[in-house]
Amino acid sequence: MNAQTHEAQRLDDVAEITWMQLVGASGLSEGDLRELVHYGALVPRDPAAPTWTFETRWLVVARTASRLRHDFDLDSHGVSVVLSFVERIDTLEAELCRLRAQLG
């Protein structure tokens, strides 16, 4: 029997997940995630909304945060600082990739 084909979903700035879905999929506790939002490491679509929703790309960030917390034994503030460095590295690598593409 042929196995069913499942849709692989893009984690981007188009699709949206709820706060509870982010909690469930991130591997972090609700308290830890709330602290990361407080430190600006995760940004809800509307921070003033009574229930937060997020672009699905934040799931990648939240899962990275979960890994960093576990592997380096960091608190939420430490995780948020490392995440800011990771984001800078990602931005610089994207620029480097573009320059290399232009140079050939």
Question: Which positions lie near another protein, rule CB under 8 A?
Answer: 2-11, 14, 24-25, 27, 56, 59-60, 63-64, 67-68, 71-73, 82, 85-86, 89, 94, 97-98, 100-102, 104
Say how far apart CA 76 and CA 86 lie, in whole Å.
Answer: 15
- Least distance to another protein from the beta carbon of 86, Å? 6
39's tokens:
């430190």
Three-state helix/strand/coil letters over 65-104: HHHHHHHHCCCHHHHHHHHHHHHHHHHHHHHHHHHHHHHC
With respect to another protein, which residue has the nearer C-beta, 31 or 84? Answer: 84
Q: Which is nearer to another protein, 47 or 73 (CB)?
A: 73
Length reported for the chain: 104
CB of 70 to another protein, least distance (A): 9
* Minimum separation from the CB atom of position 85 to another protein (A): 7
